[in-house]
Amino acid sequence: MLTITNAERIFIDGNEERTGPLHISEGTVVGADPAQDDGEVLDATGCVVTPGLVNAHHHLLQSAFRTLPGTRGVAMSEWLPTMATAYDAASVDPELASFAASVGAAEGLLCGVTTVADHHLSWPRGADTVSIARASAEAVRRVGARLAFVRGTAGDDPQAAAASAEDIVSALLPGTTSGVSGDGMLQLAVGPAGVHSDGPETYKLLGEVARRHGLRRRTQSNEQVDVGIAQEHYGRRPLELLEDWGWLEDDVTLAHLCGVTPWEISRIATSGATATHAPGCDLPMGWGISPVAALLDAGVKVGLGTSGGGSNDAGHLLADARLAMQIAPLVGRAVSAREALSIATEGSAQGLGRPELGHLRSGAAGDLCAWDVAGIADAGVADPVAGILWASPGRRPRHVVVAGRVVVRDFQLVNTDEHELVTALRRRVGR
């Protein structure tokens, strides 16, 4: 039993907040009055407690490729080959995947991210894809976070990509019918990068793998390059293609969605597909702004992602939730702090098909953050929940809990040494 005490406020979900202790037993929230009240106590004095954040769209490998020359503020048609050259020079292998995933997941935990979806797109020709996937999964598990590993493609041979996805499922989650491990710490999914790089055969074959094993499907849509190439190659819009290819359905999540029309928003809502907003990537790169409020108002479930270090050099999801609030009025109505926090928690979890994540109702997974609101940055704040996002842009949680286990205590990682992770990655990439 883990009991969180003395919190200023507990954000249960977008509709409920309360005070009082919160109890987690065997990794699950059991409510305020369990049958027994013993075990570890985590003092949250001066803190607001929220569900753990869920980063619904990351590229963990890019944690090894931040601020590279030629990758800032450029068109995606320039950015993609620059990143590909860097991957080739670094020789992507299980070791690099492990180091990068360790750093990305640890950074996420220190910023309150308890679950991260890793859309892995770089698979060198002839690579041992199972070893790369396993290295990433084991690295994230060691630091203490949950992982949704997405076997992505970016122009890969369709047959080889599908065979690789099958091999990864067989090796990491044999016999799965839900795509999620028994302890909930690992999830598998499939996801082409987008219609700008992958054609109908890739979408068809990966969709078949998903259906056989109960996996979620994820792809990227309607950034600049996606819209431009879809028009050039097919004379159509990306979402029209995805619908024709069977990828506008309720088990699909669409990342980015910068340039979407009102009709397309309505079509997404009707299909039941979910969305992931990534403002920390799209805005500074000039790739567009997703109309989040319009998606929400249409009934689309929206999550939040940072995307990778090649475009958003930080894995700080709370900072990106703040950015989402700041830019929302530019493309529609304002988004409140509670809406933004809900997007970064339960909204992201819904896109992963994980109803136990992203909230603190009884029966939820025991994933939470305790955010210290007693310092100078919160002086004068009238609403401590809103203040989590509006005040202190670089805010980090004091404590983080995953599956009832404390993984960040007093701002420090519990399971691993942060500096050792940094040193290992720097040695591997030579910077």
**Res 35: pLDDT:** 56
CATH number of the domain where residue 247 is located: 3.20.20.140
Ordered DSSP codes for 380-412: T-S-HHHHHHHS-TT---SEEEETTEEEEETTE
Give Cβ neighbours of residue 187 (< 8 Å, ≥ 6 apart).
146, 147, 148, 149, 179, 180, 181, 216, 352, 354
Number of domain units in the chain: 2
Question: 186-192 and 146-153: which strand pairing?
Answer: parallel
110, 15: one domain: no
Q: Which residue has the tokens 């996606």?
A: 226
296, 407: one domain: no
Give Cβ neighbours of residue 10 (< 8 Å, ≥ 6 apart).
4, 17, 18, 19, 20, 22, 48, 49, 50, 360
Q: Which domain holds residue 298?
A: 53-351
195, 297: one domain: yes
Where would I find the beta strands (DSSP E) of 182-268? 186-192, 216-221, 252-256
Q: Is residue 420 part of a domain?
A: no
Q: Using one digit for the tens of pLDDT, what is the confidence trace for 68-78?
A: 999 988 888 89
**Res 18: pLDDT:** 94
Q: Using one digit for the tens of pLDDT, what is the confidence trace for 84-108?
A: 999 999 999 999 999 999 999 999 9
Q: Are 13 and 342 in contact (CB under 8 A)?
A: yes
30, 72: one domain: no
Closest CA to 9 of 396, 388, 405, 393: 388
Q: Specify the amino acid at residue 20.
A: G
**Res 295: pLDDT:** 98
Q: Is residue 341 part of a domain?
A: yes
Interatomic CA distance for residues 368 and 370, integer angstroms: 7
Mean pLDDT by 10 residues, the chain (431 residues): 96 95 96 69 97 98 94 88 92 96 98 98 93 98 98 96 98 96 98 96 98 97 90 96 98 95 97 97 91 97 96 95 97 96 98 98 98 97 97 96 98 97 94 70
Q: Is residue 424 part of a domain?
A: no
Backbone angles phi, psi at 194, to 5 degrees: 155, 170
101, 81: one domain: yes
45, 58: one domain: no
41, 57: one domain: no
Interatomic CA distance for residues 388 and 397, integer angstroms: 10
In sequence order, the β-bridge partners of residue 401 are 368, 406
Residue where a domain stops, chosen among 311, 327, 351: 351
Interatomic CA distance for residues 196 and 222, integer angstroms: 10
Interatomic CA distance for residues 13 and 159, integer angstroms: 42
Cα-based angle 352, 96, 65 (whole degrees, multiple of 5)? 80
Q: Is residue 428 part of a domain?
A: no
152, 134: one domain: yes
- CA dihedral angle for residue 138, residue 142, residue 145, residue 148, rounded to 10 degrees: 0
134, 171: one domain: yes
Tokens at residue 236, please? 């159509």
Measured in residues, the chain has a length of 431
Buried b / exposed e across 391-407, counting CB within 10 Å, b at 16+?
bbeebbbbbbbbbbbbb
Helix locations, 214-278, DSSP H: 224-234, 238-244, 262-271
94, 139: one domain: yes
